[in-house]
């Protein structure tokens, strides 16, 4: 089962992708995680990706397509996978569709987690990240045991630049301009399914499970 998660930044699609991956025993593949690992390790790709992410812009196609296609070709993806953060644009979707067609494969579901912009700006402003181990929390939804301290490793938490309200607004503008057309693309392909992302995350997940069967 090959699944794409769609939705604006902060809609909760990453959380849902992890839950889907656990339930169906398929890999959760997040381009965000790949980029953050490169940023943390100070690679050239990481440095370049960080410039775009800090400004609330999308990382260009050429930095994402090759690494993604290599990843889905690995053995652990033979029973399917959940893509989180890719594709972000119509050209990326077309590259993915073409690559899968050559393998005699296709995307089974594109799940759109639908959340209004105002909710997202409020939600992301509460996110906190650990600079050491990369764990993420939320001051309301996933609080730490000690405020401002990572449960996993005890390091200080930060509000990432790309979670600040002014950056989130930019990211949403970019999303609506470049990524929203994917909803039409996957609707035309007959695989789009939408869920109400403003619900409790367990209710969102239950709705997704009903779709996937």
152 is catalytic: no
13 is catalytic: yes
Report which of 23, 192, 13 is spatially closest to residue 110, judged by C-alpha positions: 192
* Catalytic site residue from 2, 50, 123, 127: 127
* Catalytic site residue from 2, 13, 36, 123: 13
Q: Which residues have C-beta within 8 Å of that of residue 31, sequence separation ≥ 6?
A: 59, 64, 67, 68, 84, 85, 86
Tokens representing 15?
């959380």
Q: Distance between CA 36 and CA 97 in Å, rounded?
A: 26
Residue 49 near residue 43, CB atoms below 8 Å: no
Q: Distance between CA 8 and CA 114 in Å, rounded?
A: 8
Q: For 170, list phi and psi in degrees, rounded to 5.
A: -60, -45
* Catalytic site residue from 2, 123, 128, 171: 171
88 is catalytic: yes
* Catalytic site residue from 2, 36, 50, 88: 88
| Helix/strand/coil for 60 | coil
* Catalytic site residue from 160, 164, 169, 193: 160
Q: Distance between CA 68 and CA 65 in Å, rounded?
A: 5
Q: Distance between CA 118 and CA 84 in Å, rounded?
A: 22
DSSP string, 151-210: TTT-PBEE--GGGSHHHHHHHHHHIIIIITHHHHHHHHTT-EEEEETTS-HHHHHHHHHH
Q: Which residues are catalytic?
A: 13, 88, 127, 160, 171
């Amino acid at each position: 089962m090959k699944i794409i998660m769609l939705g604006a930044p902060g809609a909760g699609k990453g959380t849902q992708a992890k839950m889907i991956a656990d339930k169906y025993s398929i890999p959760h593949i997040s381009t965000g995680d790949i980029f953050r690992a490169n940023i943390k390790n100070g690679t050239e790709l990481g440095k370049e990706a960080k410039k775009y992410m800090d400004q609330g812009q999308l990382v260009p196609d050429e930095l994402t397509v090759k690494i993604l296609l290599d990843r889905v070709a690995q053995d652990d993806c033979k029973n399917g996978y959940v893509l989180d953060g890719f594709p972000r644009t119509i050209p990326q979707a077309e590259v993915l569709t073409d690559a899968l067609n050559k393998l005699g494969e296709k995307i089974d579901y594109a799940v759109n987690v639908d959340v209004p912009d105002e909710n997202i700006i409020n939600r992301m402003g509460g996110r906190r990240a650990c600079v050491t181990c990369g764990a993420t929390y939320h001051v309301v939804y996933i609080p730490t045991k000690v405020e401002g301290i990572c449960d996993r490793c005890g390091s200080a938490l930060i509000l990432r630049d790309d979670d600040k309200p002014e950056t989130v607004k930019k990211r949403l503008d970019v999303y609506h301009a470049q990524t929203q057309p994917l909803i039409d693309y996957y609707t035309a392909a007959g695989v789009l399914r939408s869920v109400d992302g403003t619900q409790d995350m367990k209710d969102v997940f239950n709705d997704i499970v009903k779709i996937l069967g």
